[in-house]
Amino acid sequence: MAIITINAEVGCKGTIIAHELAEKLGYLYFDHIIAEEIAEMLKINKMDVKTFEIEKHENIVATISKYFSIDIFTRKDQQNLDMEQKQDKLYSRNIRDSYKHLLPYRMDSSGWIDADIYKKMLFRVISAISKSGNCIILGRGGNIILKDEPNSFHFRFVGTPEFRKKNMVNLKGIPQDKVDTLIQQIDNKAITYNKYYFNFDVNDPHYYSAVLNIESIGDKEAIKWISKIVS
């Protein structure tokens, strides 16, 4: 029973490889559903959490929860999968059933979120997910949150600027004249996000079990190599 976390530079096919790896291993895959679980627990709109992940950790007013107690939670009730996620064939397997009983908290006050609440709920959700085992968690500091978890493996995907730009243009449809700026913006946000919440340099190889150059080894070889390592 293994836990895999993947942190990928934008343009290095992190989502694609994680999905294919999950299918090959028969593992559950967790990405956006993590933010949706936090939103459900806090009784707020899921887009508020997703936007918050990207932007609001940089705003000093996002730290107001230090003046309040966050321990105002009760046992989490069972809820249905968000209809939007049923499009995904991995989510259609009702993956929430595999870990929802491990999520012990729900916010009973009117819904709101700030940096401290987001961080504490993120730790709780990812830690609970990991208890189900045989899962792949994409991003959100999973390698830091689960660094001491037995049988956990943490991978970083990287590639040259040219490789990343080509994938952003070909796979994401980003205009050629805008791709450099977009990659730089996303890289900067990833650095800021991980430094703010987890106090680590996302580019430091010491925080990973292995760093894979996806351009060099290719998608299929990366999947084969990781599968062998975790088996």
Domains of the chain: 1-27+142-231 (3.40.50.300), 30-133 (no CATH)
**Residues 47-68 pLDDT 10s:** 777 766 765 555 433 433 443 3
| Res 46: pLDDT | 76
Mean pLDDT of 59-81: 36
**Residues 163-175 pLDDT 10s:** 999 999 998 888 9
Mean pLDDT of 65-83: 35
pLDDT over 80 (residue 18): yes
Give the Cα separation of 15 and 28 in Å (integer): 13
Nearest to 10 by CA among 190, 176, 198: 190
Give the Cα separation of 36 and 104 in Å (integer): 16
No. of helices (H) and no. of strands (E), the chain: 9, 5
**Composition of the chain by helix, strand, coil, percent to 5:** 55, 10, 30
pLDDT over 60 (residue 206): yes
Nearest to 129 by CA among 47, 14, 1, 34: 34
Q: Are 73 and 105 in contact (CB under 8 A)?
A: yes
**Residues 87-134 pLDDT 10s:** 344 443 444 555 555 454 444 434 677 778 888 888 988 998 888 889
